[in-house]
Structure 1
């Protein structure tokens, strides 16, 4: 846990740097970052993310840390569309795979105008750092590479950090250290 504490401390220090908030990488590309961590430390990481956000709120910094839990957003959208109860029914009758497909289609998860991407875009202030969490909770309905690829096309003024319960080596994402994502994604490893 000590190594994880050190990495989270380093991540918090890094996001405070003005250069980080300028949101430009080595090739002047949009600043998208992945903070990977052992899945078994999920609850601790959630706690630390909330702590970092609270410290930011009380700091008087000119930027705001905004946390988007993908699972919570998905449930909120399903409730607002009065679709959540229908999902339970579909799952009972046809299984999880069917409900997973139905929810992914409803949310248009593979599109830049998908409901989750729209939600994040609409709720992100100009001077912000976006933290994305909950990727493990909503797998396989929502995939991390899909969210990042679609957000990359609509969020280009603020840095985005995906907190990822698994491994990221700079090219491959391996959820829970077991499920290899078939897609390549290029983002900076935060620390």
Structure 2
């Protein structure tokens, strides 16, 4: 059994545990968790997310879980603001660097926190699984979004599936790009 398979096999039990769902043992910290994994295993993790969404209601009846894909959320947000077609055209004409600069403010974590909150439908869900981190990079920086979600999520647990490494202090997207320090999350499984 591979190390990833061993870790993935622990996720369902961890997500349905009273400890995670009630925030026990967090020491007044927010209930943010990170499941980091080797980027080359992205497809296996996506498959496992599908498995989780199917099996969570069976394992813990009544648990209302929402899966938010950050890439899909950002695309929908840009489309709603009539920016998606413009962004694609600008990238074609002026390059990716220009596009990143132009979208920096509309996609900053402070502006995306309310978008994320709407995508989550917080009152009607108990647990949030977040994916799409690698796909949305470099349009969205994970640490910026997470730092702006503290007040949004309140006491509801959020689990970020992260293609890279998290050492409890910093996120390394694709295990090489440092995404600044982010120390307010817990590793979902070791």
TM-score, L = length of structure 1? 0.90
Q: How far apart, CA to CA, are the structure 2 residues paired with 1:119 and 1:46? A: 23
Q: Which moved more, 1:15-24 or 1:47-56?
A: 15-24
Partner Cα distance (2:96, 2:25) in 1: 40
Please give the alpha-carbon distance, in whole angstroms, between the structure 2 residues aligned to 1:181 and 1:96: 20
User: 1:23 corresponds to which residue?
Assistant: 23
2:137 matched residue in structure 1? 139
The separation in 2 between residues aligned to 1:101 and 1:23, in whole angstroms, is 38
Task: Rate the CA distance shift 1:59–1:26 in 2: closer, same or farther, 3 A.
Answer: closer
Looking at structure 2, the residues matched to 85 and 17 of structure 1 have their Cα atoms a distance apart, in angstroms, of 43
Matches of 1:31 and 1:141 in 2, distance apart?
25
Return the match for 1:181 from 179, 182, 189.
179
Structure 1: which 5+ residue stretches go unaligned?
none
Aligned to 2:103: 103
CA distance in 1, matches of 2:166, 2:95: 31
Deviation, 1:53, is 0.7
Q: TM-score, normalised by structure 2?
A: 0.90
Q: Which runs of 5+ in 2 are unaligned?
A: none
- Measured in 1, the distance between the counterparts of 2:82 and 2:50 equals 29
Q: Are residues 168 and 54 of structure 1, via their aligned partners in 2, closer, same or farther at CA, if it must alter by over 3 Å?
A: same
How many equivalent pairs are there?
A: 187
What residue in structure 2 maps to residue 160 of structure 1? 158
CA RMSD of aligned residues (A): 1.7
CA distance in 1, matches of 2:21, 2:103: 34
Of stretches 150-159 and 179-188 in structure 1, the one that deviates more from structure 2 is 179-188
- Structure 2: distance between partners of 1:188 and 1:120: 20
Alpha-carbon deviations, 1:42-90, whole Å to 9, x = none? 0110110111011124456221221111000011111122211101121
Q: In structure 1, what is the Cα distance between the partners aligned to 2:60 and 2:33? A: 24
Q: Which runs of 4+ in 1 moved over 6 A?
A: none
- Cα distance in 1 for partners of 2:101, 2:178 equals 20
Larger helix fraction of residues: 2
Structure 2 counterpart of 1:118: 114
